[in-house]
Amino acid sequence: MASLVSNQAFEARAAEIIDSLTQSGQLKPFYNITSPMRPVVEIEGKGQVLVLCSNNYLGLADHPEVMEAGIQGIRDYGAGTASVRFICGTLKCHRDLEAKIAKFLGTESALTYVSCWNANEAVFPTLVDPADAILSDELNHASIIDGMRLMNKAVTKKIYRHSNMEQLEELLKETASHPVRWVITDGVFSMEGDVAKLPEMHQLCQQYNAMLIVDDSHGVGVLGKTGRGTHEHFGMEGSSVDVFTGTLGKALGGGAGGYVAASQNAISMLEQRARPSLFSNALPATVAYSAGKAIDVLDNDPGIVARLHANVKRFREGLAERGFDCTPSPTAIIPIMIGDEAEAIKKSAKLFEMGVMVIGFGFPVVPRGEARLRVQVSAALTDAHIEQALDAFAKL
């Protein structure tokens, strides 16, 4: 029977791939966590482990008010909408959260999605016309790359070398005849932990009349005095970024969900035309409530951001004192380059034995030969946690 043969062929192929990853030491382990996400979590079969690899930058994932808001969300609206937004999936709490996001980022409007991945899959195919050109940093996040793959094939796509402003300018000159040019960048690059050169990019976009899109998933809550993100870090509040995309699954409570914040026309286009808006469920009310509360907590206590900045400084300095080569950066992402993927996974396992969770990243998350450990710092880490982590790194 054909289906049985296909089934056997697939199972054999999958088993061979998994076996080869196991043999080469590249198989990623999955740990079962049995407590809320916080600096120290319970792991099944292991006990307490210090987490240095979550995106819980502000420690809001188990903040009492953020959790309580989620519970209120389920009381007010139940488990979910069972619908996409334009059918019967738009709740008042979605609109409230979107108004809060727009105000937080200083845009006219905003629209939420179940993830930033979805937001990026919505933005590019919807806003970019076949006659347009789009210029993208080579290290942009996978969701930007995949979102761009969904654009009309006729769109002119150019990839510039990482943060290379000379090449970006060349490409802006080259694409002068296109009706709209788009420049897209991560605000904070997720695997490098460096910051996009936003002031230069803004200046170039002004000079060559191009639109600037920033995915600030790792910048919001982290950069700037009040955690607005990369633009605040550079003192660029106002209308310097045309379109933001971002996640609610990291600093802003860590639940899930993403958003686009932009002009009212851009948001209306997304509501009317974007496939994730038309064919995918709305954000659950629990997340809308808890993310909204996370923004309130952040607005009411910018001291959390100051704590995060102090922890980042302390961690980076501590690593440097122990001989680790980490490039200076204000972000909470600190990559420690290892090179070989199996070696990165081995080092991560060693840290885990010492009760510290730092994941080793290899292909396809980063290019082959550029495997690394990635430390992510949280405002919730105490001095004792940081010392414990630095001791473990010293023992590596």
Ligand X SMILES: Cc1ncc(COP(=O)(O)O)c(C=O)c1O
- Using CB under 6 A, list all residues that contact ligand X: 115-117, 141, 143, 186, 190, 215, 217-218, 247, 249, 258
Nearest distance, CB of residue 298 and ligand X, angstroms: 18
Q: How far apart are CA 262 and CA 243, in angstroms?
A: 5
Please pick, among 100, 218, 309, 385, the residue that the annotation labels catalytic.
Answer: 218
Nearer to ligand X, 30 or 323 (CB): 30
Catalytic residue among 250, 309, 347, 385: 250
Residue in 334, 335, 330 with CA at minimum distance from that of residue 310: 330
**For ligand X, which is the closer residue by CB, 120 or 175?**
120
State the distance between the two ends of the chain, measured CA to CA, in whole angstroms.
Answer: 54
Q: Minimum distance between the CB of residue 131 and ligand X, rounded to whole angstroms?
A: 27
Q: Which is nearer to ligand X, 306 or 365 (CB)?
A: 365
With respect to ligand X, which residue has the nearer C-beta, 160 or 393?
A: 160
**Nearest-angstrom CA–CA distance, 28 and 361:** 9
Q: Is 190 a catalytic residue?
A: yes
Per-residue CA distances from 375 to 75, 76, 386 (Å): 37, 38, 11
- Which is nearer to ligand X, 141 or 385 (by Cβ)? 141
Distance from C-alpha of 72 to C-alpha of 253, rounded to nearest angstrom: 15
Q: How far is the CB of 216 from ligand X (least distance, A)?
A: 8
Active-site annotation holder among 136, 163, 190, 217: 190
CA 384 to chain centre: 27
122 versus 381: smaller Cβ distance to ligand X? 122
Complex with ligand X: residue 318 or 362, whichever CB lies closer: 362
* Beta carbon of residue 283, minimum distance to ligand X (angstroms, whole number): 11
Structure tokens belonging to residue 255:
């639940």
CB of 51 to ligand X, least distance (A): 16
Q: How far apart (Å, rounded) are the C-alpha atoms in residues 39 and 385?
A: 8
> Which ranges of the chain would DSSP assign to H, the alpha helix?
2-23, 64-77, 92-105, 116-127, 142-149, 165-174, 198-207, 230-233, 264-273, 275-279, 285-300, 303-321, 341-353, 383-395
**Active-site annotation holds for 347:** no
Which residue type is seen at 371? Answer: A
Please list, in sequence order, all residues whose beta carbon lies within 8 angstroms of the beta carbon of residue 52, skipping any fewer than 6 positions away: 356, 357, 358, 375, 376, 377, 389
User: How long a stretch of residues is the chain?
Assistant: 396
Q: How far is the CB of 245 from ligand X (least distance, A)?
A: 7
- 115: tokens are 């993830």
CB of 14 to ligand X, least distance (A): 25
Residue 205 and residue 211 in contact, taking contact as beta carbons nearer than 8 Å: yes
Q: For residue 357, report the phi and psi dihedrals to the nearest 5 degrees.
A: -100, 110
Catalytic residue numbers?
190, 218, 250
